[in-house]
Structure 1
Amino acid sequence: MVINRFHSDKKQERYWHIVCPMVICLAANIIAVVTLNTAARYIAMMLMPGSFYAAATVVISWAAGSLSQPTIKRASAVALIWCSYLYGSSPRYLPAFLVNLTASALAILAATATRMYLRR
């Protein structure tokens, strides 16, 4: 996470520093949804948090730096809330992983749309 964030700042590039970790997160969520194999799910669980939060730190700085005033608009864009109640249906946690999978795909699409918008 820290290396991704510092490298993003150093290179002044946000898009690839969001999309690459989110692709890893997307793959980990797919693994978690399609299998009950303990080893595969364990690997997926190891990949998910690091990849998600590596992208999240860059998303927050990109949103804060790209949005204009007023401050309330920036604060609203930066405020992301995750619901822990999704993880109630063990052992598959299917609703939670499907939400994570969808959110990962939407994050990639949003980063792509933002990049295209800012370039234009």
Structure 2
Amino acid sequence: MNILPENSRRLKALPVLFSLLAYGREGYRYIVDNSIELAQEFGNYIRKSSHFELLAEVRLNIVCFKVTAACDTAEFLQRLNKTGLVFMTPTTFNHEKGIRAAFVNWRTTSEDIKLVCSLIENIINSK
């Protein structure tokens, strides 16, 4: 049980133990469920947008999408990340270049999703 790399080097499992003690199983469940719900919310926005297209169905906490507007994906992503309000990464899915949004921060809220949707619309419309 304790020979896995995650648990055998310099107390790497200690933060997990402390967060379990602080939040418990229900707290962890809420964090995971919230991340999934927020990914679904962002995926629904992408699905309805005329500027973006989902590259894959939203499963768990990852949203993979591409820019369909007359805008280069790499340039769009650079402008988005340069705002400092959000950070997304480039990806390739089924040989198509796209953007990967991963919902992993336990403090992310539905209001943050609205902010990101507004932000990416502004970037697309300012082109």
Rg larger in 1 or in 2?
2
Question: What's the TM-score, normalizing by structure 2?
Answer: 0.31
Question: What's the TM-score, normalizing by structure 1?
Answer: 0.33
The higher-RCO structure (CA 8 Å, 6+ apart) is 1
Bigger share in strand: 2
Bigger share in helix: 1
